[in-house]
Structure 1
Amino acid sequence: MLALVPGCASESPRPLVVLGPWTGKEGEAFEAALQRLDDGTGRTYTYEGTRSLRETLVSQLEADTPPDVAVLNSIGELTEYARRDQLEPLTEPTRERAFSPWAPDLLVDGRSRTYWVPLKVDLKSLVWSKEGTPSDDPTWCVGLASQATSGWPGTDWIEDILLHQAGPARYTEWATSRLSWRDPDVVRAWTTWARLLDGRSDDSVERSLTTSYEGTSGPAGPRGLLDSPGFDCTHEHQSAFIRYVYAGDGIRVEPSARFLDGRAEYRDAFEVSGDMAAVFSDDPAAQELVERLSSPEGRERWRAEADPAVRPLFPDTRGLPSAEPANAVEQEIDALLNSRASALCFDASDVMPPELRDAFHRAVLEFFRDPARKHLDSLLGQLETVRVQVDEDTDDRRSFRPPQEICDRLGG
């Protein structure tokens, strides 16, 4: 934990606490950006970075010691906190930067409110491989472990497949709990994933279930699945953030569409995730901090402090320019985000209520171990039960409507 002093004053107000997901070099770069946000008020900023973000935040809320600002990637979780009156609505001009699909307005008691703003985004519809590797018959790397949230690399697969097979409209219905888990489009996405990964040995399955999405660790840190011993594989389906484990290693990146048995008209629809800042404190300085972090100047500071492999990515939208790409991989990702995308759709599991998202994670792990159709039918039945129950529970609460549109249809 590091206290950062942006300026001097005769008084010493309490530090503003920012809780976020970034550790290691990412955390260091964000801390450095905070340090440079000199507003002349004498406020200090304490950054707490953790990989167990949800657990840490829930514990702090239960102890009535929430952070002033928290950065989360789950619209489902953020919606729950807003529903419980644990978030403060954003003020202008921050709200103007909370563009769809990453931070839609919520209807609260008949009023449209905005509760979070994206600080960075990542493109998820990507496939990674080593330069020179043939791509006609890929052998897939899969690592599904991730501490308390194991399974999300598998949900990313299913989400991306469904988006490219059924399109943004059906994807949105499913992500926002308006489509049954037994729907044929949903079933096909699961069975397509099983077919793409068919032929794995029992040892390979267990290795994937227990290996981190970062791959194995070496003297210099994570090695990435493409470079990990025991993974005889040629291609990896993973988000743009994974570039930090492959920096300078002759790795190429390309859109995932052609690998997923999708339809041509959905080729340039991409799945994205976002790290979004929300205010948990009634201290006006917390609102001011989020305003500065989400500004073009705040983005420039952050990028300037970060190594190329962990530089935050931003789409060129609402007049907020993206910076010059640092290398060929980032250049390709930047082009997909800002030039080629016909639609950008938020990560479906991160839109779902936490109970449904967690059940989705568990179901993916079980299905990966046993992809038999009978087992799949049982798992989807369980997920449908959770969906219906969560929807009924939501209807019992005060007037509050979560987002219904999570895809930004670019170019009209």
Structure 2
Amino acid sequence: MSGPVSRPPRRPRTRTLVVVGVCIAVLAGLAVGVNTLRWKGSVTLLANWSGANEQNLRDSVIEPFEDKYRIHVVYQGSSAESQVLAADVESGTPPDVVVMPGPGELADYASQGRLTSLDGLVGTKDFGPTWMPAVRGAKSTGDHTYWVPVAADLKSMVWHRGDLPKARLAAVAAEPASWCLGMGNGATSGWPGTDWLEDILLQQAGPDAYQRFANGDFSWKGDDIERAWQTWGKLVGAGTPRAAKALMTDYDKASQDVGQSTSGCGLEHQASFVRHFPSWTKAEGAYVASSEVIPGAEQQNTWEISGDLAAMLTNTPQARKLIRYMASAEVQQRWNTTKSGFSANRKVLRTAYAGDSTAETIARTLSDPTATQCWDASDAMPSQMRDAFSDSAQRYLATGELDAELHDLGQVKAGLKGQWPQFAVCGSG
């Protein structure tokens, strides 16, 4: 019996070779794709946004940045941002980038040498000098730019029902019951009161007095300061049960009964962000400059402003990319118009708000080179003074007693010698 027939080895069919070749190519492509998708480092970002505001930040800024640069953004949002930042800096683990709602604490960190200068990283030509001032850094380092605004709000505004003629607003404002008033905002309750007091000081005494107030060169019992407190107290009825009720009313609920015939208020001193509050939308809300209703106001085209400022604590390539990205007109327009806010970038202000007459007017004011703009003064103060100011505003609203509050504020100020940031709070638009 013969053995098995020996056959030559089978050659692979052409189709088999093609399939194998395709598989190899696919695997190679996957390898390239995985390498392309690999993260190119990370950057930590601390801010105070949470909830819907945080989601808007992720949708409009963080996710597009990650897609573009393959840099992972580790975001931390905290309502106690100041305390978190102080603890992180003290422990030697600061965030790479921080966004703060005002310049005071950032100026303090700059003077300690904690911030990295943005000179040469972000151009200042698209932002007014008030938004990106030169600030004194640590000893012997000179003056530099340390922050860039990523969002802006216009203050010094009084909102009114659409059916209230402007000619009647001053008379309506003289009645405390006309004002929608709410002081509540969690750990930062009271800021609507300090906004009021600062604005009255600005409109009555002018930018020079306001600058001294923000930089610590004043007395809490000075004539201009006392006059501002007394004016506010008379306008809103400090010491009355209605005023005291404002301490238990959140600022974003203050206008919820605007326009109601029995108990509704008709005016609110508040920044530009309230224009899309449902209550004001329903009431067809409009605004005038606060100088039109504040007794004794002598200023024209003079506005308090506020904004969110991005600064860099660690000088890494990833942090530099994020700062530059957040400062760009394209990103600021996408971000701020999505959340119905404003950018301080002149390119955005000139183009982004067409078709919304109220927004266009606000944008023109924010970019007006003839306007005087002054930072929220309490946001420029040392944090201890800011917090004491806020507490006193709430107590005065409840009691109507001023002397004790001014005395206590003076005591706090006396303990802060040499701790007041020195930079230009007021400037042109």
What TM-score do you get using the length of structure 1 for normalisation?
0.83
Aligned to 1:31: 58
Residue 259 of structure 1 aligns with an amino acid whose one-letter code is: V
Cα distance change of structure 1 residues 166 and 84 upon mapping to structure 2, 3 Å threshold: same
Q: Does 1:164 align with 2:203?
A: yes
| 1:327 equivalent in alignment to 2:356 | yes
What amino acid is aligned across from residue 159 of structure 2 in structure 1? W
Of 103, 119, 136, the match for 1:107 = 136
Stretch deviating more after TM superposition (251-260 or 337-346): 337-346
Note if contact 2:333-2:343 (Cα within 8 Å) is conserved in structure 1: no
SS in 2 for 1:12: coil
Match of residue 291 from structure 1: 324
Deviation at 1:276, TM superposition (A): 0.2
Alpha-carbon distance between aligned partners in 2 of 1:370 and 1:248, rounded to the nearest angstrom: 33
Q: Counterpart of 2:285?
A: 251
The secondary structure found in structure 2 opposite 1:404 is: coil
Q: Percent same amino acid at aligned positions?
A: 30
Give the alignment of 1:147-158 within 5 angstroms: 147-158=186-197
Change (3 A) 1:243 1:24: farther
Correspondence 1:239 to 2:258: no
Asked if structure 2 preserves the Cα contact closer than 8 Å seen for 1:129 and 1:252, the reply is: yes
The match for 1:281 is 314
The 3 A distance-change label for structure 1 pair 188 and 341 is: farther
Query: 1:143–1:209: 8 Å Cα contact kept in structure 2?
Result: yes
| Residue in 2 that maps onto 1:211 | 249
* Distance of 2:222 and 2:123 partners within structure 1: 36
Relative to structure 1, the CA distance from residue 289 to residue 209 in structure 2 (aligned partners, 3 Å threshold; closer, same or farther) is same
List alignment gaps of at least 5 residues for structure 1.
1-6, 217-222, 395-400
- Paired residue for 1:87? 115
Give, in whole Å, the separation in 2 of the partners of 1:20 and 1:8. 31
Equivalent residue number for residue 6 of structure 2? none
Q: Which residue of 1 aligns with 2:403?
A: 377
Q: Distance in 2 between matches of 1:24 and 1:229?
A: 34
1:189 — aligned with what?
228
Q: Distance in 1 between matches of 2:334 and 2:289?
A: 29
Is it true that 1:127 corresponds to 2:158 in the alignment? yes
Q: Is the 8 A contact 1:98 1:114 kept in 2?
A: no
Q: Give the AA of the match of 1:12.
A: W
Structure 1 residue 361: Cα displacement = 0.6
TM-score in terms of structure 2 length: 0.80
Instruction: Tell me whether 1:263 sits opposite 2:301 in the alignment.
Output: no
Q: Would the alpha carbon gap of residues 21 and 236 (structure 1) be closer, same or farther in structure 2, given more than 3 Å must change?
A: same
Matched, 1:73 2:107: no
Secondary structure of residue in 2 paired with 1:408: strand
Match of 2:365 among 332, 336, 339: 336
When the two chains are superposed, the root-mean-square deviation of aligned CA atoms in Å is 2.8
Residue equivalent to 2:184: 145
1-side partners of 2:57 and 2:372: how far apart? 29
Provide the aligned length of Structure 1 versus Structure 2: 382
User: Residue by residue, what CA displacement relative to the aligned partner does 1:210-241 show, whole Å, maximum 9, x if unpaired?
Assistant: 1110017xxxxxx7463799963111101112
Letter in 2 for 1:137: V
Say if 1:279 and 1:257 are closer, same or farther in 2 by CA, change over 3 A: same
